[in-house]
Structure 1
Amino acid sequence: MFTYYTVITLISIASLLVLCVLVHENGRIRRKQKTVFYLTYLFIGLAALAEWTGIQLNGNQNIPQWLLIAVKCTDYLLTPLTGGALVKQINVRNRGLTVLNGVLLGNIAFQIIAAFFGWMTQIDSGNNYRHGPLYFVYIIIYLVVISVVVVEFFIYGKGFARQNRHSLYAIMCFVLCGILVQEICGGEFRTAYLTMTIGVVLLFIHYVEYAQLDAEDRLSKQEQLLYKDTMTGLYSRHAYSNALKVFDAKGALPEDLVAFSVDINGLKTVNDTMGHAAGDELICGAADCIQRVFGAYGKCYRTGGDEFIVLARGSREKAEALLKQLATETEVWSGKLIHNLSVSAGYALVTDHAGITAEKLIIFADKGMYEDKSRFYRQSGNEKRVYSFAYNQPNNPK
């Protein structure tokens, strides 16, 4: 019959094999990262098997002493390597990793030499092994590896959001507790590799969950870039087109829907005379004013260089009040390069156009905006729009 320890060892190795299958089937993990996962599981599995084999062979007088020494040497070689594999798995590159690699290489050399001189393992006449005179060196190496692993996981965890960081630290503490139980209690308390196995299972779950969250975050940022105008922070032309499609898909437009069309006056003159940096400031200033006035009532879109559309909800009275508020906001606006801002605006109500589509509603709003722009140029005394703006003069009268 199998002993309890044998069953635990077999379950641990079987779990590691299942993990390998899960890693292999995960298409989001890069091939190089998969190799690191495989090596981690291989080291843990072989180390657990070496420890189990050493316990099974201990006291067996039918085997040569060199075989028992070789098994224990393998155990002492692989156990620290599992720590190195765990650090490699989280893909950190710093001085701690350099120290860890040096310690692991030193341990390999030390264990191979110690196997020939009995420094680590000594065998008595009954073929029972006991620790050699330099076993304390291995304990120091073991503690250094554990310390570096803890520090590296702590550093690695600082790059996560708080909830992901806490789960990572909990996994680390769980594995450390399993190792400490075995080292302190000894005997039948063989918990180190069991908790390591459970630990790497939990780490894989953590890795997959974080990869999913990271992918969703990248997708969200891409969508934000797609739906937001990077210069002004308003919704983009793409978002505006999608909004019209949504309205059209729903059929009849909401009865309280009102569309505003806003256009900057004299942007080309500013670009030609003062440069595009001044023109960009003018565009951003207009966008800020539009957002402050209309943001609480609907969505504001930048649909062209100096063209803006607002889709909001409200009555005719509200629309008139908002246009007056917009005129006030632009009147008091002043930038670093530009000290004057003038816009033309118009609106259209669904209630004035029964059965209209969203796109045609915008056309009516544009018509109102162009009428306002014509009035602006007539009042400026230049109907051909060759209008001289003294934008570089503060408090320039409109």
Structure 2
Amino acid sequence: MKLTQCLALSTLAASVMLASQADANEITDNEIRIGYLADMSGAYRDPIGPLGQDAIEMAIEDMGGSVAGAEIELFSADDRNSPDVGSSIVRGWIDEQNVDMVTGLVASSVTLAAVRLLEEENRLGLVNGAVSSGVTNESCSPNHIHWVYDTWAMSNGTASAITQEGNTDWFLLSADYSFGHALERDVTRVVEENGGNIVGSIRHPFPSNDFSSFMLQAQASGADVIALNNAGSDTTNAIRTASEFGITQAGQVLAGMVLFSTDVRSLGLEAAQGLQFTTAWYYDLNDEARAWAERFKERTGSMPTQVHAGLYSSTLHYLQAVDAIGTDEAQAVREQMAATPIDDIFATGGYIREDGRMVHDMYLVEVKTPEESTDEDDLFRLVRTIPAEEAFRPLSESDCHLVNNDS
């Protein structure tokens, strides 16, 4: 009798355990639901915007449209670069569509508001557009991963190279919101660590069309370098204004801290030639990157930016993780993603750290002259590959609460 009871209890325990495992392995609603939140109409429309959805769709298609027997559904929305609008969209996606993962996340202010909601609701965020290094530093969480770049990496490559060339006096022109502030801070750190000085700074409203007064102030500072701590149309407008005022012709260096291939096309090689900047990816990096870029261009009519490649890569890695473990539970998926190296069209040997930073090589490039360019897509030459371990903030300097700096 006792043996029978023991066997019965063992069978019951095993059944409960199996049922528990089955629940853990279930995909909610038998669908993977992804939300793409981005600036579709403002300053970041061209480098990220609507074409980012195509990159995500390519990843979904490359997975055959489903994972672990579950169909994949994609939602998209324009956050209008507003934290309030972005938060409202994410809240609606969670409450009404039961979205599992949100990607895109472009303006840093929108991103920081959105990832707080994702953590509260235990959903996953894949940050591809936002640049602020605070995303995985003081604002890290167990519910988001920062994929493409950040202000620490962008300033580390460009500012150090330009300062080491003997351009020691810097003037900082920064977008007046969290991204611009973070980039201003990180550029200051790199310049001073390399023996340079900040001789002046000013912040401009985001977004801005008229940079005349800002560029005149930068010109009057006598700085060797004018750092553009902004992105998208703000950067291209500032560079055009500098060209009109003859700033570079007079010998001052313009340092675009966050530039995209779309910016260079918009400016034209005549205006952009010689600009050096750091990028996470570009389509002539290798044969695999170029082949994927040609697929993207055939689909959209345009070559992809580094963020488009990041959206494809991060979405694919996410879907592969769900497929491998058979669940869309956020913490389980993140753990699987972190346990799997990233080897694809975007990165080789990339990996996800405990703070949520995806670590990979970065690249210092220079815009070609019109004479050097062989076709409309031949824009850059590689100056230097920045190894992954040099590219991003070391964990020993992290303020992320997920990082144990005592070990």
Q: TM-score, normalised by structure 2?
A: 0.22
Q: With CA pairs under 8 Å and 6+ residues apart, which has the higher RCO, 1 or 2?
A: 2
Higher helix share goes to which structure?
A: 1
Higher strand share goes to which structure?
A: 2
Structure having the higher Rg: 1
